[in-house]
Structure 1
Amino acid sequence: MDSISSPASLTARPVLNFTSAEVTEAMNRSFEEYFVPLVFTPETFERRFRSENLDAAASRLWFRDGELIGLTLLARRGYTCRVAAMGLVREARGQGYGRPMLQAAIDEATARGDRAMLLEVFQANEPARKLYERLGFRNERELFTFQRAPTAGVPGGMLTELDPLDVARLVAREGSADLPWMFAAESLAAAAAPARAFHLEDKAYVILRPEPTRTLLLTVLVRPAHRRQGWGRRLLQAVEAAYPGPSLTISMVTPGPGYDFLTAAGWELVPLPLFEMVRPLGA
């Protein structure tokens, strides 16, 4: 499909029709003054969304009278699709464009046989949450972010580097079965430099990505035979010792053991929780 038309003289064109630089510019414009800063280069955009299985044929840039008003980025795995990003440029916000944009994505997903659509939204973003609810999305679970400022002199064990793909395979075999999309084993399998992976005595594993303002931990895994023996805490201490610069961050933590572990380990809860929302599609 080359383009689709919607009410209010809107036209959408597949991301496939644009260069990486053009899509990145559209993304940055659509997320200006957002809850958290989102600024990409073509390289960081590709790195982020490649791992999420972005479908460039199903994703759209939206226009009104030839002028960009926003975008919808769709990721797909099996029968499930995910709104990886949806945003409007500043001058187009508050004019009711979000509903036809998202409804078009829902209609197309249903037509191609997808069975569920999911997305994440900040709990504080009430206008977006209400729109999603009106279009049939329901809260599935809360997702939390933790951070920790590295402390000088923290004792750390000896980290040994390994291929991130090996850790992704371990997560697939031994990790939680229902991890959030961005940190599921399928996403972790695409991790490559500058992401790095380490293990601590073959008992605890981490994949992390150093960034200018933070070090993002993509996954933390302790082998089943070594859980509840302090290996997770020792691993985090070793990471803290090895990366003493910007804050360490772990995103999209679900309620339960991981949440409790980070709280007990002294990590700070960031006051910007998300809802993961799901909408059934089709019959």
Structure 2
Amino acid sequence: MTSSFRPRFIATAPAAPASIPTSTLRQRFPGLTLVSAGQLPLAALAALFEAAFSGYAVPIRQNAALLAARVRSEQIDLEHSRVALRDGAPCALCLLARRGDTMRIAAMGVVPAARGAGLGRLLLDEAIAVAREQRAARLLLEVLGSNAVARRLYERAGLRPRRRLLGWQRAPFTPRAEAALRRTHCIELARALGADHALDWPWQLAPASVASGYAWMSTYAIADKAYAWIDDRARDRLALGHLFVAPHARGAGYARRLLVSLQAHFPGRAWTIPPLVPEEFGGAVLEALGFTRSALDQVEMELALG
């Protein structure tokens, strides 16, 4: 079966440098070709991305601008990322990112019409082969905790759970502003995060991701003591990416002051934190601030390649 995407330029796109031998690919998947994701225009890649995550537990909306922001912020390497073509039509993708000696599967999906044929394992094997060829020391990915099928796939390929990433939520409340709130640049937050060497941030919250900046994220601060990185586009809620207190200011209530000040600035909005908070990070602090665990969580998985 083929997908409904059939851009004319793809049919003649050269194959990516071989990681899985071509003979093996032809035997297992007649009519299938793997090409570098960099050969597709971002609009076509974004359309494939959205189709490949159709029916996902969390609705995925993608376009060229959103994908470009992810590529920039997460350091996705489109040259070494892969798109699978069946009879010239895109049917699956695997996006790979790299920082230093670590590579990460930033997204991997198969369009509904091509599912159940083993393309997920093919792309995973290809990602591992590419990571080895690029001499990465390890490969990371995240998977929803409820996605048992995907977790088994990754475990069979040798990946092991590293830690759980939790989501949180909070109802709106009626506060009074407690501190002078200032809007600042994401670079200031990234520098503060980078100075705290004790914390091991997940990829999307790491200083490099914050510094690259999603255009829709805003950074607020109280002096140089506490920072929040938020998405305020929705009228009824705030999505909180970071609530960070600098080491020299901890234990003085700055997280609560910042939260209260933000609620006063955005009255009536509920709070959500995506499932990116490591289980060992600040759960007690968030509970003290009135947050409760959301239904979604992720498992960060790792494959040692060295």
Common fold by TM > 0.5: yes
1:262 matched residue in structure 2: 286
> In 2, distance between residues paired with 1:39 and 1:247?
22
Give the aligned residue type for 1:227. Answer: R
Q: Percent of pairs identical after alignment? A: 35
Aligned pair 1:144/2:166, yes or no?
yes
Contact 1:164 1:192 in 2 (8 A): no
1:227 to 240, 250, 255: 250
Post-superposition offset of 1:246: 4.8
Contact 2:73 2:214 in 1 (8 A): no
Q: What are the Cα deviations for residues 28-81 of structure 1, in whole angstroms up to 9, with x where unaligned? A: 000011010111121112112311100010111112222222110001001110
Contact 2:73 2:213 in 1 (8 A): yes
1:83 matched residue in structure 2: 105
CA RMSD, aligned part only?
Answer: 1.8
1:20 matched residue in structure 2: 42
1:253 matched residue in structure 2: 277
Give the aligned residue type for 1:49. Answer: V
2:224 to 173, 183, 202: 202
1:241 matched residue in structure 2: 264
Post-superposition offset of 1:192: 4.9
Contact 1:175 1:221 in 2 (8 A): no
Q: 1:221 to 1:75 in 2, by over 3 A?
A: same
1:38 to 45, 55, 60: 60
Aligned pair 1:49/2:65, yes or no?
no
Q: Which runs of 4+ in 1 moved over 4 A?
A: none
1:117 to 139, 149, 152: 139
2:3 matched residue in structure 1: none
Aligned pair 1:154/2:203, yes or no?
no
Post-superposition offset of 1:18: 0.9
What does 1:4-19 align with in structure 2 at a 5 Å threshold? 4=18, 5=22, 6=25, 7-9=28-30, 10-19=32-41
Q: What are the Cα deviations for residues 116-146 of structure 1, in whole angstroms up to 9, with x where unaligned? A: 0000001110110000000000000000011
1:133 to 150, 155, 180: 155
When normalised by structure 2's length, the TM-score is 0.86
Aligned pair 1:92/2:114, yes or no?
yes
Q: What are the Cα deviations for residues 261-281 of structure 1, in whole angstroms up to 9, with x where unaligned? A: 112211121111110000011
Post-superposition offset of 1:253: 0.8
Aligned pair 1:183/2:205, yes or no?
yes
Unaligned runs of 5+ in 1: none
Post-superposition offset of 1:2: 3.9
> In 2, distance between residues paired with 1:232 and 1:211?
22
Residue correspondences, number: 281
Contact 2:105 2:139 in 1 (8 A): yes
Contact 1:69 1:89 in 2 (8 A): yes
2:301 to 267, 277, 280: 277
When normalised by structure 1's length, the TM-score is 0.93
Unaligned runs of 5+ in 2: 1-13
> In 2, distance between residues paired with 1:242 and 1:166?
21
